Amino acid sequence: MQEQLIALLGHPVHHSKSPQMQNAAFQSLGLPYHYMAFDVLPSQLKEAVEGLRALGFHGANVTIPHKIPIIPFLDALTPLAKAIGAVNTLYFENDRLIGDNTDGQGYLASLSHEFPHVDPKMMTVGIVGAGGAARAIAFTLAQYGVRKLYITNRHDQKAEELVAGLQAWTAAEVVSMDTFQNVMPQLQLLIHSTPVGMSPNVDESVIPNAWLHSDLIVSDLIYNPNETKLLREAKERGASIHNGIGMLVHQGALSFERWTGRKAPIDFMKVELLNRLYT
C-alpha cells in the first residue's frame, strides 16, 4: 500500500503533540500513514484545502483558528459537525472532502472509559463555557440523550445561541454565572470548558470551592496542568474527577479510526501523549 498522508492544519501548530501521537499509533500497527503539521495562515486556508486535494492527502485534522472558517471549502459535513458548526477531522469519500467533529464524541468516549458504570443518559449536566469545545460536547451529549443541560458562560449571548440549538434534542437552559450556584445541587456532571486554570495561571478557577459536592463528576477539559485547581478542590470535596487528557486521546483515536478503518491503539496513544506532555 502506498504511503497515505494526513495533515494537521492550524495556526500556530508547533506545540501540537498530535503528530507524535498519531505517527506512533500508525507505526505500532504497521500502517503506511504519515501525519504532518502545517502552520496555515487564515488568509491561506482556501489554498491549503486545495493543496490537500491536489496532493492526494488521505485526510486531516483541523485546529484553532480554522475549525469554523474551513467549512465553506469542504464538500459536506457529517450531521454532528453541522449541528456543532465546527470541524476537527477531514476525510475523503468518493473524492468529496467531508468535515466531521470528534471532539464531543472523544469527550463522551473518555468519560465512558474512565467511568464505565455511569450512564450519561441519566445525568443532569452543567457546562461552564460556550466556546468550540463546549459546543461540541453539548451537541454530542444532547444527541446522546442526557436528561438536561444547564449552560453558563461569561457572555450570556453565546450560551443563549448554544441552548437555542440544543433544544431540538434535549432540555437545555441558560443560567447566568451569578446564579449557577443554584443549579449545582441538581448536577451529576459538571464540565469546565474555559481556559481559566490553565498553565501558567494554575491558581485560578471559575467555580468557587463551596459550590462543589460529593455527588458530582467534575470534568476539566484542561490537560496542562493534569490536575487543575478546580479538580484539586473537587477531589477535596469528595467529587470524582476527569481531566482533559482522555478527551485529547479519544478525539484523536476517533480521527485515526475514520482515516484507517482500524481500531485505534488507545492505551498506547495515551502513553505516547503523556510522555510528550509531562516529561
Binding site for ligand NAP (CB under 6 A): 103, 129-134, 153-155, 158, 193-196, 198, 206, 221-223, 244, 247-248, 251
- Beta-carbon count within 10 A of 173 CB: 14
Nearest Cα to Cα of residue 246 among 191, 178, 175:
191
Whole-angstrom Cα distance, residue 10 to residue 3? 23
Whole-angstrom Cα distance, residue 51 to residue 247? 29
Q: Which is nearer to ligand NAP, 76 or 180 (CB)?
A: 180
- Catalytic residue, candidates 67, 148, 263, 270: 67
CB of 50 to ligand NAP, least distance (A): 26
Is 67 in the active site?
yes
Q: Which is nearer to ligand NAP, 205 or 261 (CB)?
A: 205
CB of 199 to ligand NAP, least distance (A): 10
Length of the chain: 279
Q: Which is nearer to ligand NAP, 221 or 264 (CB)?
A: 221
Find cell 500500500 and name the residue. 1
Q: Which grid coordinates belong to 220?
A: 476539566
> Which position's Cβ is nearest ligand NAP?
131
CB of 95 to ligand NAP, least distance (A): 30
Instruction: Give Rg (Cα) of the chain.
Output: 19
Whole-angstrom Cα distance, residue 80 to residue 77? 8
Do the Cβ atoms of 205 and 230 come closer than 8 Å?
yes
Residue 45 CB contacts under 8 Å (≥ 6 apart), including other chains: 9, 66, 69, 70, 73
CB of 149 to ligand NAP, least distance (A): 15
Nearest Cα to Cα of residue 16 among 259, 251, 268, 258:
251
CB of 55 to ligand NAP, least distance (A): 27
- Beta-carbon count within 10 A of 259 CB: 23
Residue 43 CB contacts under 8 Å (≥ 6 apart), including other chains: none
Q: Which is nearer to ligand NAP, 207 or 212 (CB)?
A: 207
Which residues are part of the catalytic machinery?
A: 67
